[in-house]
């Protein structure tokens, strides 16, 4: 544990956690007019519905927004990151919990993990059921998130996601099901730990963390999906529309159709970073194959292999790298190094 961390605990004071509420299903109930779930609850109302939460920590409650997940834009993610980064410099704050819509929780958590250089816990949490349902998972998830944020074992883990009693690294967290409460999983490595009857158990720690300091976010990065028979029309359109970076979601190890190659080459020649990812839910992109359109040819052309990142997280990383003014060689090193 780092010096100065959890000083409140050292003096037998209750820890203080800042909770940022941004909306999502955890804040929703059924609207009687539309018949569907909409954001409605404030942070104070959510906390009041979690039995005993006020007995385990003191809180700074920040109503940052009340958005469904699809309404959280990269600019809003970046604003949140800046607010949380500033909050973590307060020595009275021992950690941060962020409630968030699960549709875009992966991207926001990834962005914060890449931009916040603090050892204090930052824990994202959401819900798959709304407060009008008997099976509302919000209170239990929020209680677990607070437990994780106040536990000394989570110091230095980086940004994590707390859902269904699991602790998942933000860099690995993937929403795998549209409705199930155990939707968030680590695609390749499994969780960092779990919460069992209010006890936090950490079973592994991330090997490395990559911080990309920047005050600018370059949002003009597009994702193009490759499928059987795909050509380069959408790639050309993205470039002609002013894209500053491209994420190509390829097939298998990171392969594309022959018909897409000319457009990819045009983008690379124009100086646009082109990152190759895979539509496969597990594994990494590698230049294993040497046939036309395969990863080896793409790398020779100047494309950058995206490693184990899915396309939407590769986009977040590239937006930050471009915003930081990194060179093409530095961008390549960030993805392939």
For 42-75, the pLDDT digits (tens) are 999 999 999 999 999 999 999 999 999 999 999 9
**Is there a domain that residue 262 lies in?**
yes
- Domain count for the chain, please give it: 2
Taking 50 as the threshold, does the pLDDT of residue 85 lie above it?
yes
Over residues 104-111, mean pLDDT: 98
Q: What is the pTM of this model?
A: 0.94
Residue showing tokens 């000083």: 7
Q: Which domain holds residue 43?
A: 7-202
Q: 25 vs 6, which has greater pLDDT? A: 25
pLDDT tens figures, 191-203:
999 999 889 999 9
Q: Find the CATH number of the domain harbouring 235.
A: 3.40.50.40
Helix (H/G/I), strand (E/B), else coil: 224:
strand
Active site residues: 25
Domain match, 173 and 43 both: yes
Domain match, 29 and 70 both: yes
Taking 50 as the threshold, does the pLDDT of residue 2 lie above it?
no
Domain match, 42 and 182 both: yes
Query: What distances in angstroms separate CA 144 from CA 136, 181, 201, 287, one per listed residue?
Result: 14, 14, 12, 41
pLDDT tens figures, 23-38:
999 999 999 999 999 9
pLDDT tens figures, 170-194:
999 999 999 999 999 998 999 999 9
* Beta carbons of 223 and 316 less than 8 angstroms apart: no
Cα–Cα distance between 278 and 290 in angstroms, integer? Answer: 17
pLDDT at 3: 41
Domain match, 93 and 195 both: yes
| Bridge-based pairing state of the strands 245-250 and 221-225 | parallel
Boundary residue ending a domain (137, 168, 202): 202
* Beta carbons of 43 and 19 less than 8 angstroms apart: yes
Domain match, 253 and 283 both: yes
pLDDT band for position 13 (cuts 50, 70, 90): confident
pLDDT tens figures, 260-270:
999 999 999 99
């Amino acid at each position: 544990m780092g010096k100065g961390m959890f000083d409140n605990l050292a003096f037998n004071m209750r820890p203080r956690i800042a909770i940022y509420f941004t909306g999502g299903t955890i804040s929703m109930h059924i609207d009687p007019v539309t018949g569907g779930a909409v954001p409605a609850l404030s942070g104070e109302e959510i906390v009041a519905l979690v039995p005993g939460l006020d007995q385990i920590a003191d809180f700074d409650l920040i109503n940052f927004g009340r958005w469904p997940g699809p309404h959280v834009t990269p600019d809003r993610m970046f604003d949140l990151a800046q607010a949380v980064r500033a909050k973590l410099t307060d020595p009275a704050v021992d950690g941060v919990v962020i409630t968030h819509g699960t549709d875009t929780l992966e991207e926001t958590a990834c962005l914060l993990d890449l931009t916040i250089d603090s050892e204090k816990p930052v824990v994202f949490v959401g819900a798959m059921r709304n407060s009008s349902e008997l099976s509302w998972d919000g209170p239990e998830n929020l209680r677990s998130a607070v437990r994780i944020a106040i536990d000394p074992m989570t110091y230095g883990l980086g940004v994590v996601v707390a859902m269904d009693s699991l602790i998942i690294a933000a860099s690995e967290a993937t929403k795998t099901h549209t409705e199930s409460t155990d939707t968030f999983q680590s695609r390749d490595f499994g969780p960092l730990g779990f919460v069992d009857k209010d006890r936090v158990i950490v079973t592994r720690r991330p090997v490395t963390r990559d911080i990309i300091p920047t005050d600018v976010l370059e949002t003009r990065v597009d994702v193009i999906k490759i499928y059987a028979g795909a050509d380069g029309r959408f790639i050309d359109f993205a470039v002609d529309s002013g894209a500053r970076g491209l994420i190509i979601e390829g097939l298998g190890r990171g392969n594309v159709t022959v018909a897409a190659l000319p457009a990819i080459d045009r983008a690379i020649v124009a100086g646009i970073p082109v990152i190759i990812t895979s539509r496969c839910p597990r594994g990494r992109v590698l230049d294993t194959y040497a046939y036309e359109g395969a990863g080896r040819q793409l790398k020779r052309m100047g494309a950058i292999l995206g490693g184990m990142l899915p396309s939407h997280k590769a986009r977040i990383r590239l937006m930050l790298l471009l915003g930081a003014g990194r060179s093409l060689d530095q961008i390549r090193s960030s993805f392939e190094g």
